[in-house]
Amino acid sequence: MVQTPTGAGKQKGISNLAQAEERTAWWLLLPSLIVLVAIAIYPLGRVFYSSFTNERFASPGHRTEYVGFSNYLTLLTLTIRAIPYEIDPATGERIYQNPRLFLRRLDTPRPFDQVRTFELFGTRYVLGATNARFVNAVIDTLVFTVANVTFTTLLGLIVALTLATKFFGRNAMRTAMLVPWAIITVVSALIWEWMFKSNRSGFFNALFDHLNWADGNIGFLTEPLLQLPSVIIMDVWKTTPFMALLLLAGLSTIPNELYEAAEVDGASKIKRFFSITLPLLMPTLAVALVFRTLDALKVFDLFQVVFGERRYSMASFAQDMLISNRDVGLSSAASVVIFLAIFIFAIFYIRLLGVERNA
């Protein structure tokens, strides 16, 4: 006589089977976990460790020691001070002290250097930092990221909406659109560097001189006020196709029946865009914004090729500290700051835009 298993026996069998499947899953994941530890977790941990030391690169006589948060204090210590002034007896105007010299005369454990000056409620202040180059790199990277993502998203959306409509040569346009994105960043940076040359041998200066808009000597890459807008234009030109490609893929998932029904109801194109296209495109747009923002925050090659040591992004500053200054500790601390900035932005975007919920 065949005995049927009891309820408890069935539960035990199911539990054993689930445990066996779980063990099998872990064994199958083990090779991937080993590779992940080797190429990601260990290097990241090594960078975190080095950021708390005074380790130097290619310095045989140097003794590496634990320095705590000294590298982070060097990078991130800031001060804001009102600049002293005197009243000119002849004119009654304020004559301010040199902000850089004023900061250097301060009696502080760490010397400060000038980052920015600004006026607030009639008083002039100076923002100082123990490492002004890094603080300027952070400011430039954030401005670059915000401007880049904004223009890339707007232009990418316009291009995607255009390519989603039917017109002669649409397929050729879709293919040609990818050319800027496919060009290596170093190559495109060198091309744009020639176009932005500060004399008539540059394309834009020659064009403006021909149109009598300028004298042909605009320092696009030498004038501090024009440097950042110039590299933003370079990167927007290169990365807009990527954004357009992602948004075009999202547009292709929206059913045409919705547009047809809205058209029958008499909805205008603008109303269809805000009522149908934009809400249904939001999940794709959220993912595209995350990718684009994180990519812009870690920009390196563009700044390195165009500016070298004249102006830094956060990533190019970290590289310069390692290669030029051979300061592994300070370079590692800068890299950790970049990692934390990217991590915080990613969490912020995911929560704000609801990437997981939309997906």
Q: Is the pLDDT of residue 353 over 80?
A: no
Residue range 55-101, pLDDT digits in tens: 988 777 788 899 999 999 999 999 999 999 898 888 888 899 999 99
Helix 132-164 × helix 314-323 angle, to 10°? 130
Mean of the pLDDT values across residues 193-208? 88
The domain limits of the chain are 78-129, 133-358
CA atoms within 13 A on the CB side of 184: 4
Interatomic CA distance for residues 172 and 180, integer angstroms: 15
Instruction: State percent of the chain over pLDDT 70.
Output: 94
Q: How many Å apart are CA 359 and CA 150, to the nearest integer?
A: 23
For residues 272 and 278, what is the distance between their CA atoms, to the nearest angstrom? Answer: 9
Question: Residue 292: which residues within 8 A CB-CB, separation 6 or more?
Answer: 148, 149, 152, 153, 239, 242, 243
Domain 133-358 matching CATH 3.40.50.10860: the answer reads: no
What are the φ and ψ backbone dihedral angles of 64, each rounded to 5 degrees? -80, 130
- CA dihedral sign, ordered 126, 129, 130, 135: negative
303 CB neighbour count, 10 Å cutoff: 27
pLDDT tens profile 254-266:
888 888 888 888 8
Number of DSSP helices (H) and strands (E) in the chain, helices first? 17, 5
Dist CA 31 CA 24 (whole Å): 12
Q: What is the pLDDT of residues 113-167, one digit of tens each?
A: 999 999 988 889 999 999 999 999 999 999 999 999 999 999 999 999 888 888 7
Segment 322-344, tens digit of pLDDT? 888 889 999 999 999 999 988 88
Over residues 203-226, the mean pLDDT reads 87
- Amino acid (1-letter code) at residue 34: I
* Three-class secondary structure of residue 254 per DSSP: coil
Of 310, 302, 308, 314, give the one whose Cα is nearest residue 135: 314
In this prediction, residue 7 carries a pLDDT of 55
**pLDDT band at 6, cuts 50/70/90?**
low
Please report which confidence band the pLDDT of residue 275 belongs to, taking 50, 70 and 90 as the band edges. Answer: confident
CB within 8 Å of 267: residues ≥ 6 apart: 275
The closest alpha carbon to 347, from 300, 296, 293, 298, belongs to: 293
pLDDT of residue 41: 81
Banded pLDDT at 4 (limits 50, 70, 90) = low
pLDDT at position 13, please?
A: 57
DSSP 125-176: EEEEETTHHHHHHHHHHHHHHHHHHHHHHHHHHHHHHHHHS--TTHHHHHHH
Residue 30 has pLDDT above 90, yes or no: no
Q: Within 10 A of 192 (CB to CB), how many other CB atoms are there?
A: 24
Stated pTM of the model: 0.84
Is residue 230 over pLDDT 90?
yes
Percentage of residues of the chain with pLDDT beyond 90: 41
C-alpha to C-alpha distance for 270 and 256, rounded to whole angstroms: 16
